[in-house]
Amino acid sequence: MPGMFEPNQSVEETPHPKLHYRATINSLGYRGPEFQRIKPPHVVRILCLGDSGTFGQFVNDEETLSANLEQRLHQEGISVEVINGGVPGTTIVDQVEILQRSLTLAPDIVILTFSENDITDLDAEPSQFAALAENRRVKGQPGLKTVYELVRDTALFNYLLKIRATWKTYSAPPVATSEAHASHEDSETRHEQLWATYSHHLETMLQALSSKSIPLIFNGYPTHQRIGADTFTDDRSRIQLSRAETLARNMGIPTVSLLPSFRETGLTKEELYHLPYDGHANKMGYLVQAQALLPAIREAIQKIRNTPPAFRP
C-alpha cells in the first residue's frame, strides 16, 4: 500500500467547536476518494506532497488543495486525478520517502508545498516518516492488529489518546537555562545546517523526478503572519519564505509564490486562515491557493502533451 495512512477510514473530528471537519482515507492510504492503482489511459495524474497544509487539516475532503485543483481542471475539460499525498507533521525528509512510495502510482506531475515550519521541523527526532513506520510495524503485529482494529474507532480509545498526548505535552522536561540561552552564533550555525539539509533533500527529490521525466512544481505557502501587519519578531523568520522560493528557482524548479495571490484578494488573515482558532488555511485559503497554482500546472500539462509517448514516464 503506497499511502501512509491506515486504509478505509471515514472520520469526523472536532478538536474545537469551530474546527469540525470530515476526512476520508481511501484503500491505498491517501486522503480523498478512491482511484485506481494503475493510472487510466489519457489521465494526467498529479501528486501533491506536503504537511498538514497539503493534507487539509480542519477542512472537509472536498475543500482540500488537491480537491480544489481537480475540480477546477475538470471544469477546463482536462482529464486529471490529483492525489493528496500530504501527511501532517512531515517535512522534506519525510516527503522524499513518501514520494518514493508513491512513484508506483506513475504521477505525471508532483507539487511540493513548502510550509514555513518545514525548516525547524527538520530538528525533530525521529523523523515523522520513521515514527509512522514504527507505528505501522507495532500495529501490524499478530494479535495486536486484531485488538487495534476492534478499538480504534471507539470513543474511549480516542479519549485515552488525547489524555496520552496531553500528558506527553505537560510532562516534557523543561529546557535547561543553559540551552535556552545558547549563543546566537550556535543558533545561526544550526539554522544554516537545517537549510543545508532541506536543500540536499530537495535536490534528491528533483533528481529522482528528473530521472523519470516527471516535472516538479514548488509551492511557497505563507504563514498568516505575512497577511496584513507584519508580526515577525526576527529577520530570519521574515525572509525564510523568499529564501525557500529562491532556493527552488536556483535549482530550476518552477516556483509559485502564493503570497502575492493571498494579498491581491484583499481578504484579511481571518478570512484566509482558521484564525483565531488555528493558523491553517480555511476553505477560502485553499481555493485561492489552487487558483494561483493553475497556470504552472497548465504549463506542465502542455509540456507533457507535447512530449512523445516514448519519452513519458
Does some domain include residue 3? no
Q: What are the tens digits of pLDDT across the range 180-201? A: 455 667 888 999 999 999 999 9
Does some domain include residue 285? yes
Q: What are the tens digits of pLDDT across the range 219-263? A: 999 999 999 988 898 899 999 999 999 999 999 999 999 999 999
The answer to whether residues 61 and 22 touch, using CB atoms and an 8 Å cutoff, is yes
What's at 24, amino acid-wise?
Answer: T
Cα–Cα separations (whole angstroms), residue 278 to 159, 224, 274, 309:
21, 10, 5, 45
Does some domain include residue 86? yes
Instruction: Please state, rounded to an integer, the average pLDDT across all residues of the chain.
Output: 91
Helix (H) or strand (E) holding 12: strand 9-13
Domain that holds residue 269: 9-170+182-311
Does some domain include residue 176? no
What's at 220, amino acid-wise?
Answer: G
Cα–Cα separations (whole angstroms), residue 209 to 81, 305, 308, 309:
18, 18, 18, 17
**0.85 surpassed by pTM:** yes
Does some domain include residue 142? yes
Helix (H) or strand (E) holding 218: strand 216-220
What pLDDT is stored for residue 309 in this prediction? 63
Q: Can you name the residues that pair with 10 across neighbouring β-strands?
A: 24
What pLDDT is stored for residue 286 in this prediction? 98
Cα–Cα separations (whole angstroms), residue 176 to 36, 144, 168:
52, 39, 18
Q: What whole-number distance in Å separates Cα of residue 98 and Cα of residue 85?
A: 8
What pLDDT is stored for residue 177 in this prediction? 44
The answer to whether residues 282 and 245 touch, using CB atoms and an 8 Å cutoff, is no
Does some domain include residue 1? no
Does some domain include residue 18? yes
Mean pLDDT by 10 residues, the chain (313 residues): 93 90 98 96 96 97 98 97 97 97 98 96 89 84 81 80 76 53 76 97 98 97 94 91 98 98 97 97 98 98 82 53
Residue 158: count other Cβ atoms within 10 Å of its Cβ: 14
Compute the residue count for the chain. 313
What pLDDT is stored for residue 134 in this prediction? 85
The domain tally of the chain equals: 1
What CATH code is carried by the domain that includes residue 207? Answer: 3.40.50.1110
Does some domain include residue 238? yes
Q: Can you name the residues that pair with 13 across neighbouring β-strands?
A: 21
C-alpha cell at 28: 491505498
